[in-house]
Structure 1
Amino acid sequence: MDLCYEALNGSCGKYARPFGIHVLMLIAMMLTTIVTVIGNLLVIISIGHFKQLHTPTNQLILSLALCDFLLGLFVMPLSAVRSMQGCWYFGDSLSVLLMISISWLIPAIFAYVSTYFELNLYGDRDFYETHVRCAGGCHVFFTHGPAVVISLFSFYIPGLIIIGIYSRIYMVARNQARLISLQLNQLRRVYPSEGAQRRAQKATITIAIVVGVFLVCWTPFFLCNIMNPFIGYTTPQMLIDALVWFGYVNSTLNPFIYAFMHSWFRKAVRIIVTGGIFQKNSSRQQLDL
């Protein structure tokens, strides 16, 4: 078996796959990465360039698109090499640098502290040293306690908070829309138009879909992550890699959600692709909201 580092004792072994599978994986990962980068870059340019799109809801979309863009630009290419070869050639310092660069402050600190102090190995370091650790490896490994705690604080609790916040927003928006609808019958000139109500409702639905897709894409990995220590670390590393990439696909899908839900994004993309944003006063051009 080929090794990641031939000259080092205890080196990880490279993944052995048929050539056809190797090529298909490479094509799939390249396409996913390219679509993620280009799609989210179009979202960033659209919202940043057109003044009509400078709304609070779109600022939230812009922030999410920026995260997805950085994930596609910095994380996916390096992760593809690791998933293809089963080896990590980029060193610990680059890993930390990229983590800090592409993450927001709190997740970066949380991940760095957990990794630097090897909190993920707490309670079962001997098993890791004997059965998992090898030169050239970058394995996703958590012992029983850290698997539960880290998964709770990095995914499950934030996920529940997101669901709770969205549920609250949805209830408030629904009650407000119902109230406006009742009062519009009496004072139509005072309250927003039906078109404004529809746009607000569509924005709410978009956020719901984005959150739902995020949970669908990342829940399998975090379920596997929290279960693996309790089933004797029997989950194949290739399956873990596949679940990680299924989570990455969330960043690929988000621009398609925006394109499906909002005509302004489709029109903005046409203007960007055709070079219309370089025309004078293009930032003030009106889009279909």
Structure 2
Amino acid sequence: MSNLGAVHANNETIRYCFPNNNLSCTKNFKPDAEYIFVYIFISMMSVLTVFLNLLVIISISHFKQLHTPTNLIILSLAVADLIVGMILMPVQGIKLIEPCWFFGEVFCAIFPLIFYVVVTASLGNLIFISIDRYIAVNDPLRYPTRVTTNRAVLSIIVNWLFSSVYCFVLLNESFISQGKNHTCVGECILFIKLGYLITDVLVTLVIPCSVIISLYMKICFVAKHQAANSNMVLEKKARSEKKAAKTLGVVVMVYILCWIPYYIAALTLGQDTGDSLVINVMYWVLCMNSCMNPLLYAMFYRWFRISAKYILTLKILEPSSEYFNLFHEEK
């Protein structure tokens, strides 16, 4: 018997995810206009996120003036956001409109791990950026010796390793029970115990954001004190660091605003919510954060606007373009 479709008692057509499989999950009919709108939106946001973060990656990698410890961590953040745009946003976007999982059991198990590792690593990058800015403002004379390129690279490696191990432990039970909780073929549900979810709230939201916000407040206080009690050169430096702290504060605030709705929904709806429309929407909101970060750089960092202009006009192909001055317009 073919499972191309069946007619329900109320004359609604029920379609199957896999028509030739009797164990297939079903999906309800949706207007073509809805499919077209969502897929266009998904494609545009994914392409925009990849494009903007590639600009950040190329800028920091190519121009010598941007080869600083701080920008290396920003580069790590951009790589995480690039992965979000290339992998997470398309898949998570499809889950908004398609109730069926067409990517197989293996990717169903791997996808949540990729998602959690990337977003956790993004938060780790923000923590290291805040520590870097705090040292730059609080101890500017010893900053070049305390914060070096090698230490920045080490912090990036530690961040990604910790994120990978932590997320594997968090989702380990989900891997073990993968497929056992599925009621039909074409279903992909993430199962996380409530205790693990509460732990995740503390580890990836409450504790790190408290640390970042406290450091940010100290940065503003120290920068303000230096601006009021220093000569003109140091005052200009203090204003620059305060501007960097302001940028960090906005990035962190946007990050928190993207995370809070997800945790509220997850804790409210329960632990087995991987196929919930609300949770999928919250996941998408998290992904949108990766598109916002480069936009914030463009808003606050003149060097990013200048480097993006050089890249888009192909001036980076000119000889010795890596030595272009990106700060001649700084005020």
Instruction: Give the TM-score normalised by the residue count of structure 2.
Output: 0.72
Identify which of 221, 225, 241 aligns with 1:200: 241
In structure 2, the partner of 1:115 is 171
Say what the alpha-carbon RMSD is for the aligned residues. 3.0
How far apart, CA to CA, are the structure 1 residues paired with 2:273 and 2:94? 23
Q: In structure 2, what is the Cα distance between the partners aligned to 1:37 and 1:172?
A: 32
2 CA distance for matches of 1:134 and 1:89? 13
Bigger RCO of structures 1 and 2 (CA < 8 A, at least 6 apart): 1
Q: CA deviation at 1:208?
A: 0.8
Distance 1:235 1:69 in 2: 23
Is 1:88 the counterpart of 2:101 in the alignment? yes
Q: Deviations over 1:17-40 (max 9, x none)?
A: 222121111111111101100001
Deviation at 1:194, TM superposition (A): 3.5
Aligned amino acid, residue 30 of structure 1: S
How far, CA to CA, are the matches of 1:237 and 1:198 in structure 2? Answer: 47
CA distances 1:152-181 after superposition (whole Å, capped 9, x unpaired): 33x334xx3233234224414532551354
Report the alpha carbon displacement of residue 235 of structure 1 after superposing the two structures with TM. Answer: 10
What amino acid does structure 2 have at the position aligned with 1:205?
K
Query: Separation in 2 of the partners of 1:47 and 1:58?
Result: 7
Asked whether the 8 Å contact 1:267–1:287 carries over to 2, the reply is yes
| SS of corresponding position for 2:186 | coil
Are 1:152 and 2:202 counterparts?
Answer: yes
Deviation at 1:80, TM superposition (A): 2.6
5+ unaligned residues in a row in structure 2: which ranges?
A: 1-13, 119-159
Match of 1:26 in 2: 39
Moved more, 67-76 or 33-42: 67-76
Q: Pick from 55, 76, 80: which aligns with 2:89?
A: 76
Gaps of 5+ in 1: 122-127
8 Å Cα contact 2:259/2:286 also seen in 1: yes
Contact residue 265 and residue 278 of structure 2 kept, 8 A: no
Q: 1-side partners of 2:320 and 2:59: how far apart?
A: 14
Change in CA separation of 1:29 and 1:238 when aligned onto 2, cut-off 3 Å: same
- Choose from 54, 59, 65 the match for 1:52: 65
User: In structure 2, how many angstroms separate the alpha carbons of the residues matched to 1:18 and 1:208?
Assistant: 42
Note if 1:4 corresponds to 2:17: yes
Q: How many residues align?
A: 271
The 1-side partners of 2:245 and 2:69 are apart by 12
Matches within 5 A, 1:1-289: 1-95=14-108, 99=113, 103=118, 104-118=160-174, 129=181, 133-153=183-203, 155-157=204-206, 160-172=207-219, 174-179=221-226, 181-184=228-231, 192-229=233-270, 237-288=276-327, 289=330
State the shift of 1:281 in Å.
1.4
Q: Is the 8 A contact 1:120 1:142 kept in 2?
A: no
Partner of 1:125: none
* 1:236 positional shift: 8.0
Give 1:90's aligned amino acid. Answer: F
Could you tell me how far apart the structure 2 residues matched to 1:201 and 1:194 are?
10
